[in-house]
Amino acid sequence: MFTGASQFALVGVLGAGGGALAGVATALLLGSRNAMYSVALSELVPMRRALRPVAAQLTIDESTAVATTAPRSLASVGFWTAGIAVYVLWNLATLLGALGAATVDTHALGLDAAVGAAFLALLWPRLKEARGVAAGGALVAAVAVPLTPPGVPVLLAGLAVLPTVLRPLRRASAGDGRADAAEGTA
């Protein structure tokens, strides 16, 4: 299966002492979300039946993001370009990592934050009004990475932006209350 989340899940389960069956089941469950992408892509990226198995392998977060945000006339080009580029580069990097893993100190280089940074790069164009909040959360996570165990930086970033995210909800509920009170007096 060619999805980063699934591969990381498999390695994580096996690394924590879990069995191969549990690792594969976890990877398949995470990868199954990519099948849902095909629904959105079916109209944007028409293709011959013979290409569908290849397209299924390349239906990942990145190829879907590029295809769905590109102008409709470029959706197919975006899907194939992003999918093939990520496939080739991901597998090349995996091979290089397997061959030279012992020589690289991933913690010193901050590579544990690379997935989050890549996700933010994909998400950034869609964050028109919330870029400050996203940047603040990213800063909190970046500061926390060398100081906390894995997983904690994401939680801290989420907690840091929570008041900003909840502010519009509080305003909306306060507005609803005022509307209800006004209706009661009329």
Q: What is the pLDDT of residue 25?
A: 85
Would you say 41 and 79 are in contact if contact means Cβ atoms under 8 Å apart?
Answer: yes
pLDDT at position 171: 64
Instruction: Report yes or no: 117 and 105 within 8 Å, Cβ to Cβ.
Output: no
In sign, the C-alpha dihedral spanning 126, 128, 130, 132 is positive
3-to-36, 44, 95, 113, 166 alpha-carbon distances in Å = 14, 21, 15, 17, 32
Total-model pTM: 0.56
What is the three-state SS of 118-182? HHHHHHHHHCCCCHHHHHHHHHHHHHHCCCCCCCHHHHHHHHHHHHHHHHHHHHHHHHHHHHHHH
Per-residue pLDDT of the chain (186 residues; tens, 9 = 90+): 678 878 877 888 888 787 888 888 888 887 887 888 888 898 889 889 999 999 998 999 899 999 999 999 999 999 999 999 999 998 898 888 888 877 777 677 666 667 667 766 766 676 666 777 878 888 988 898 888 876 677 778 878 777 776 766 566 566 655 444 444 444
Q: How many CB atoms lie within 10 A of CB 81?
A: 15
Distance CA 23, CA 9 (A): 7
Do residues 21 and 3 make contact, with C-beta atoms less than 8 angstroms apart?
no
